[in-house]
């Protein structure tokens, strides 16, 4: 009897594996939805639309971008978790989705540990601290002096409570003994436009969101979050050079699918995205967006997610934040 049961289990396993392999061989046979957890026009959105164009040729089906910006990536994470695990929903996730939100919010509408199948990390961000051209500061030291002279006189663009820009703001207020006020936006693009219009005076986002505004004289870059100065902004100091070297954490973006997506499809999607994000022409495009290609295997991405959560815990301890119950906007 035991041998019979074992034989049935093995037969079922091999049958399932065979079905998944066949499914992966015919995949995709219809358009693929790609959920992007940030507003249209932001650097990540621009990158994913460019990648979608490349991948359509490779996969033979269009990749349809669906922007779910706001709430520090929670809306995108929820949409992903609630989607069918059939390979026809891919999810662009980032540090807030996977590392920070689980530590900052209770009753999230998704579980970062169990609701996703990691596919690959895509790229690391080169971020910067930017101010409106109306702000009479040309360095971090000058900005600090202004903010301390008028502790509640500045607004700072974030992606909502608990988002990476928000955590940086809280850390900055703690370090500087200031009361700079956070104002939420749905992405780097909207935040950049708000900064240019002087609706907010300071922010920290990916450099690529601001290049046109810097060239147009509407925004000033004061520091970049990289070990070396960005070739896009060679005269702008690094965080360490500017006196912000104690801030932990770095922004990243990656790709996942709903949990339960067949491993053979995860492997196929991983292979195609890795090829695109390591193509020399695409790497040159990424450099112009101020990001660095950083692809991984699914297993390497899973290990990275675990380590990034640990780094997030260290940062949250510094800001003395306690978990709050997540409440969806009405």
What are the residues facing 93 on neighbouring strands? 254
Residue 216 pLDDT: 97
Q: In the chain, where are the structural domains located? A: 30-125+250-325, 127-242
| CA neighbor of 208 nearest in space, from 272, 308, 290 | 290
When the candidates are 1.10.3720.10, 2.60.120.260, 3.40.190.10, 3.30.360.10, the CATH number that belongs to 127-242 is 3.40.190.10
Residue 286 pLDDT: 95
Please give the model's pTM, rounded to 2 decimal places: 0.81
> Taking a C-beta distance cutoff of 8 angstroms, is the pair 177, 199 a contact?
no
Residue 3 pLDDT: 62
30-125+250-325 and 127-242 have identical folds = yes
> Peptide bond preceding 100: is omega within 30 degrees of 0, i.e. cis?
no
Residue 15 pLDDT: 46
> Taking the CA atoms of the chain, what radius of gyration do you get in angstroms?
21
- Collect the ranges in the chain with pLDDT lower than 70: 1-24, 330
Residue 20 pLDDT: 53
Residue 17 pLDDT: 47
pLDDT tens digits, 210-269: 999 999 999 999 999 988 898 899 999 999 999 998 787 788 999 999 999 999 999 999
CATH superfamily of 30-125+250-325: Bordetella uptake gene, domain 1 (3.40.190.150)
């Amino acid at each position: 009897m035991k041998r019979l049961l074992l034989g049935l289990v093995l037969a079922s396993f091999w049958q399932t594996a065979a079905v998944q392999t066949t499914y992966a061989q015919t995949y995709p046979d219809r358009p693929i939805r790609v959920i992007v957890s940030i507003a249209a026009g932001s650097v990540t959105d621009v990158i994913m639309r460019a990648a979608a164009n490349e991948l359509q040729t490779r996969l033979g089906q269009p990749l349809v971008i669906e922007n779910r910006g706001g709430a520090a990536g929670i809306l995108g994470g929820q949409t992903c978790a609630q989607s069918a695990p059939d390979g026809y929903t891919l999810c662009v996730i980032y540090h807030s989705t996977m590392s920070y939100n689980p530590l900052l919010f209770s009753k999230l509408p998704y579980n970062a540990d169990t609701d996703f199948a990691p596919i690959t990390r895509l790229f690391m961000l080169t971020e910067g601290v930017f101010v409106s051209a109306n702000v009479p500061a040309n360095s971090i030291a000058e900005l600090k002096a202004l903010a301390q002279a008028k502790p509640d006189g500045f607004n700072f663009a974030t992606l909502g409570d608990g988002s990476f820009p928000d955590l940086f703001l809280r850390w900055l207020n703690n370090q500087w003994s200031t009361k700079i006020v956070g104002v939420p936006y749905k992405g780097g693009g909207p935040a950049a436009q708000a900064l240019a219009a002087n609706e907010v005076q300071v922010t920290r986002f990916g450099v690529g969101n601001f290049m046109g505004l810097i060239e147009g004289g509407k925004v000033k870059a004061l520091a970049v979050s990289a070990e070396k100065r960005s070739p896009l902004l060679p005269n702008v100091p690094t965080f360490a050079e500017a006196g912000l070297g104690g801030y932990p954490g770095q922004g990243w973006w990656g790709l996942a699918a709903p949990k339960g997506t067949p491993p053979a499809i995860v492997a196929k999607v991983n292979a195609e995205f890795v090829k695109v994000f390591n193509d020399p022409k695409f790497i040159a495009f990424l450099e112009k967006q101020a990001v660095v290609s950083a692809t991984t295997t699914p297993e390497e991405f899973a290990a990275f997610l675990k380590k990034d959560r640990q780094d997030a815990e260290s940062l949250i301890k510094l800001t003395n934040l306690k978990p709050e119950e997540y409440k969806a906007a009405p």
